[in-house]
Amino acid sequence: ANRYLSGLSKTKVSFTQKLKNLARGFKGVDSDFLEELMIVLLEADLGIDTAEKLIKQVEKRSDKEKATTMKEVNDILFEEMQTLYNSFEDAPFIENADGPTVILMVGVNGSGKTTTTAKLANMFKEDGKSVMVTAADTFRAGAVDQLKRWADRIGVDCVEGRAQADPASVIVDGARFAKEHNNDIMIADTAGRLQNKVNLMNELKKIHKVIDKEIPGQPAAVWLVIDATTGQNGISQAKEFMGATNVTGVILTKLDGSAKGGIVLAIRNMLGLPVKYVGLGEGVDDLRPFDIDTFLYGIMG
Ligand code: GDP
């Protein structure tokens, strides 16, 4: 958990410092206080809608429970963030009993998609699974080589696509390889182009179709990689991807470099998606399963 907490330190320092400043002038939960609390939430990148929702709850409960100290208000805020996150039901990640489980990685260039593919491969491998990766991001120059190098380092197989090759055909190769080699898990990196929505949608549709044809019922998961430092932009990117394919979860990268960890709650509230993992550095070990309680203690505790 320590790595987790230090990765969240930027958000924690910024968030707790601001709450402390608020505590100093605290005279009760009045409109001035709520306005200032709203600013603190916005600066942590919760976004207007999510921040407003929480402020309303804090106001309501502070009144009802007669909260007179900042400590009580902090506790209410903590609980309301927890409640907000837990108020959604998530489809479980179910591994395929009859063949490889396929995880599809989507996200814009630069979000950390390729690095995260490697981190996941490493994590599943350390979990004792037989893992392979498919490098189907034939669009970004260097992405295929980058994943190949990671795969070599981690010690997993990599099926790679030639530059500008059709990603779906690379994924077919990958799926066949995974079946032949009895791999438990195939993680497929895909191209991150968002410029052309119709194109993205068609490509992802085709990818889904070919995977399902090779390995019925797959992919088991489509994980969208979002760079935490891009703030609310990440939310609009996510909406584009959700319009193009059935995204089942988010992996939030570069949380170590961001004071905007509140984006977790915006992702949840605005998109309903669970945050599956967080990226806390550039190393292959710098990925952690996300857990809302650890996260909230990390930024507020
Ligand atoms: P892609 O274009 O989405 O495949 O992005 P890459 O995987 O190439 O990552 C872009 C840059 O972000 C690289 O320099 C990565 O090392 C870096 N990166 C990825 N994830 C993280 C993270 O969790 N923390 C930090 N600090 N850097 C990251």
- The predicted complex's ipTM stands at 0.99
How confident is the model over 108-166, as pLDDT tens digits? Answer: 999 999 999 999 999 999 999 999 999 999 888 899 999 999 999 999 999 997 777 88
113 is in an annotated binding site: yes
Distance 98 CA to ligand 1 centre (A): 33
Q: Which atom of ligand 1 is nearest to the CA of 113?
A: 3
Q: Which residues have C-beta atoms less than 6 Å from ligand 1?
A: 107, 109-115, 140, 143, 192, 253-254, 256-257, 279-282, 286
What does the alpha-carbon distance between residue 42 and residue 27 come to, in Å, rounded to a whole number? 22
47 is in an annotated binding site: no
Helix H or strand E segment including 278 = strand 275-279
Assess contact for 170 and 132: CB atoms under 8 A: no
Can you give the pLDDT at residue 1? Answer: 54
Q: Which atom of ligand 1 is nearest to the CA of 286?
A: 23
Distance 72 CA to ligand 1 centre (A): 39
Q: Which atom of ligand 1 is nearest to the CA of 278?
A: 23
Radius of gyration over alpha carbons of the chain, in Å? 21
Helix H or strand E segment including 40 = helix 31-43
253 is in an annotated binding site: yes
Which residues of the chain carry a pLDDT beneath 50?
none
- Report the amino acid identity of residue 294: T
What does the alpha-carbon distance between residue 67 and residue 61 come to, in Å, rounded to a whole number? 8
Q: Which atom of ligand 1 is nearest to the CA of 119?
A: 20
pTM over 0.90: yes
Give helix 48-64 / helix 31-43 axis angle, nearest 10°. 140
Distance 291 CA to ligand 1 centre (A): 21
Can you give the pLDDT at residue 291? Answer: 92
Q: Strand ranges (DSSP E) for 122-244?
A: 131-135, 157-160, 185-189, 221-227
Distance 163 CA to ligand 1 centre (A): 21
What does the alpha-carbon distance between residue 100 and residue 171 come to, in Å, rounded to a whole number? 13
Can you give the pLDDT at residue 86? Answer: 96
The 3-state secondary structure of 210-250 reads HHHHHCCCCCCEEEEEEEHHHCCHHHHHHHHHHHHCCCCEE
